[in-house]
Structure 1
Amino acid sequence: MIRYGIVGCGHIAKKHVNAIRAVEGAELAAVCDKDPDRLSFWNEEVAGFTDMEAMLSAVQLDVVNICTPSGLHPSLTIQAAEAGKHVVVEKPMALTLKDADAMIRACERNGVRMAVVHPNRFRPAMRELRKRVEAEAFGTFSHANATVRWNRDQEYYDQAPWRGTRAMDGGVLMNQAIHNLDLLLWMMGEVEEVFSYQATRLRNIESEDTSVSVLRFKNGALGAIEAAVTLYPRNLEESLALFGETGTAVIGGPTANWIQTWKFADETDSRAAETIHRINEDPYGKPGHQCLIEDMTEAVRTGRQPAVTGSDGRRALALIVACQESARTGRPVQMDTWQGKTVAEEGSGK
């Protein structure tokens, strides 16, 4: 059995608990939260702790799942890695590239794996879209759009003091749109240049509630990102759209789970209709967190890297931080020459 411990028993922890319990060969062995009231809900069934160090000392664990507010992810990940534990860390893995790099290095230094929670990669529509990208069915890409038009009202932000702050939340790109941006990069590859506008229009928070950005990818394609939590009166849509010389695909809906457009030169209309019907008949598939825990359990057993690595998580973070930098300076950010280099580049002195 691969034994898991969860740190942070708020809302997202429930998905981790359900995922671990659904995966054969995985076991929830301990939970940790500094708030005893939140902890009491869980520790009737497993060992409960108000201190992570005490949990690591008292319980034999293979993996620690970090489910705390975002600003706490780096220190807790490093603490787990230095104790020799593999790590599953919720998105965003960190709020700064410096912290993300420290997390990656700590895991490498201690010989442990880190998986970043981007479960939307396991959605049936996204898996199908990735197959089409790998088959080069789009030909030359012209452009791509990533859109998150959601509602997070003031009551949502007032529920917890960390929400909407720069230090712990990070804003609409960091907290709500990051999954969509991870998918955009997974499909389109590296970004060369980004220019962004950001604003706090309607919510009484420190970070932005609205963001619009334009991109140029290294493959020459252009891109657009629109993200907002100001939609009235409820969530409207999340979508990812890819356009190329021989293919057009749009995955959308309130969450990006449904195929809305699926046209390829190498597919007949009837075959495309079959794909749309098959995916949209069960658009959610197996829960993404369960897929991620299955993958991490196997990665720990076999010693391979997880499907979504620390480097993957850093890539989405770097795009967001670049958007924030562009909005702050009013200038485009060149990703290759900007300070957001990859860990490998920094280590080689490039």
Structure 2
Amino acid sequence: MNFAIVGCGFIAKKHAKAIKEAEGAQLVAVCDKFPDAMKLYVEEYGATPYRELTEMLEGENVDVVCICTPSGLHAPIAVQVAEAKKHIVLEKPIAMTLEETDRIIEACEKNNVKLTVVHPNRFRPVVKELRKIMDQNLLGKISHANATVNWNRNQEYYDQSPWRGTKEHDGGVLMNQAIHNLDLLLWFMGKPEEVFSMEATRLRQIEAEDVSTGIIRFESGALGTVEASTTVYPENYEESITIFGEHGTVKISGKNALFFEHLVIEGKSDTELEELKKKVKNDPWGTPGHQWIIEDMAEAIEENRTPSITGEDGRRALELVLTFYESARQNQPIQLVKEKAYVNS
């Protein structure tokens, strides 16, 4: 399966490595407006460099295009790739607005193109084990859940590229860092119906937020809280998901939410739960999430099925972020209305 990468910044390195490690995949081309950005991929992976996307799409035998550009450029590039009949692996967030997102999804459907959005945390061993627990309803009725991302992204990080921290091309901590945890929260808890959020830009000299807190009421009646920041000194502190149920409590945590910090389930012995904790601890990263996504896309094409993470999944995570933004702007709770979306103004 021939892969190409558009946008050769930091995240493209993860895609290139994932393609190299994935069974039956190879990187054949890269595209970036800056030639120096493509040197690594030419020298290390043997990829053909292109400065123009149209030239690459027409000149290369490409099956899948990984889009790794700044988020604000996702929509026009994804639509162009879809119209060229190439399948798409799209970095998060899927786009910056729901209108752009719907353009992407519609273009993929119209051109019979498969689309997956990069939410790799779903493939971490501890997250997959928590998913099994939820699928088996071992926790019973859920009362509430917490999602926390307290990380450090210093000013130097934002100053590396002029688009970082902007509302047009990047967003703040919710859009860029915490969106993975929001995706997991939705995956575990189901559809949200109401949110209330506050946000601030406290320490970083950026346009978007560097700290955010929010509350969610899910359709099930369960509540959720979200806390996210890039202001923690001097390094990443915690990424966690905690779920409280009538028959158990589970917290996955660590600097990157890789371990069971708390695991109590009615009917499960201490020995059984300790073995599960140990199993995860022995291989906390497992197969890298980007590799899972690349292999899943290749298999989806071969088997003519939908990828495990869909464009609609990416849309749901984006909609939650945008509704948080709207709630903070209005300083009041916002209802998520079916088939209606709020966009960041």
Residue 291 (structure 2) pairs with residue 290 (structure 1): yes
Give secondary structure in 2 for the equivalent of 1:57. Answer: helix
- Offset from partner CA, 1:169-206 (integer Å, 9 cap, x none): 11110001001110111011110100000110111100
Give secondary structure in 2 for the equivalent of 1:203. Answer: coil
Counterpart residue number, 1:24 = 23
Query: How many angstroms apart in 2 are the aligned matches of 1:198 and 1:37?
Result: 38
Query: How many angstroms apart in 2 are the aligned matches of 1:339 and 1:305?
Result: 25
Shift of 1:247: 1.3
Counterpart residue number, 1:10 = 9
Give secondary structure in 2 for the equivalent of 1:293. Answer: helix
Change (3 A) 1:308 1:61: same
- Offset from partner CA, 1:86-109 (integer Å, 9 cap, x none): 000000010111111110000000
> Could you tell me whether the CA contact under 8 Å between 1:171 and 1:207 is conserved in 2?
yes
Query: How many angstroms apart in 1 are the aligned matches of 2:98 and 2:328?
Result: 17
Residue 119 (structure 2) pairs with residue 126 (structure 1): no
> Could you tell me whether the CA contact under 8 Å between 1:124 and 1:285 is conserved in 2?
yes
Task: Give the residue type in structure 2 aligned to 1:163.
Answer: R
Task: Give the residue type in structure 1 aligned to 2:305.
Answer: R
Residue 247 (structure 2) pairs with residue 250 (structure 1): no
- Offset from partner CA, 1:297-338 (integer Å, 9 cap, x none): 100111100010000000000000000000001111111268
Aligned residues: 340
Task: Give the residue type in structure 1 aligned to 2:56.
Answer: M
**Pairing of 1:29-178 with structure 2 (within 5 A):** 29-44=28-43, 45-178=46-179
Deviates more, 1:43-52 or 1:129-138: 43-52
Query: How many angstroms apart in 1 are the aligned matches of 2:73 and 2:207?
Result: 18
Counterpart residue number, 1:325 = 326
Residue 269 (structure 2) pairs with residue 280 (structure 1): no
Give secondary structure in 1 for the equivalent of 2:340. Answer: coil
Query: How many angstroms apart in 2 are the aligned matches of 1:113 and 1:154?
Result: 37
- Offset from partner CA, 1:230-286 (integer Å, 9 cap, x none): 001111010000000001100000001111011111311110011001111111111
Query: How many angstroms apart in 2 are the aligned matches of 1:313 and 1:334?
Result: 20
Give secondary structure in 1 for the equivalent of 2:171. Answer: coil
Counterpart residue number, 1:346 = none
Query: How many angstroms apart in 1 are the aligned matches of 2:259 and 2:75?
Result: 34
Shift of 1:6: 0.3
> Could you tell me whether the CA contact under 8 Å between 1:248 and 1:262 is conserved in 2?
yes
* TM-score, L = length of structure 1: 0.96
Counterpart residue number, 2:341 = 340
Structure 1 runs (4+) deviating above 4 angstroms are none
Counterpart residue number, 2:218 = 217
> Could you tell me whether the CA contact under 8 Å between 1:137 and 1:266 is conserved in 2?
no
Shift of 1:41: 2.1
**Pairing of 1:256-267 with structure 2 (within 5 A):** 256-267=257-268
Counterpart residue number, 1:345 = none
Gaps of 5+ in 2: none
Task: Give the residue type in structure 2 aligned to 1:54.
Answer: E
Gaps of 5+ in 1: 342-350
Query: How many angstroms apart in 2 are the aligned matches of 1:338 and 1:62?
Result: 32
Counterpart residue number, 1:183 = 184
**Pairing of 1:184-203 with structure 2 (within 5 A):** 184-203=185-204
> Could you tell me whether the CA contact under 8 Å between 1:164 and 1:206 is conserved in 2?
yes
Measured on the aligned residues, the alpha-carbon RMSD in Å equals: 1.0
* TM-score, L = length of structure 2: 0.97
Query: How many angstroms apart in 1 are the aligned matches of 2:267 and 2:33?
Result: 56
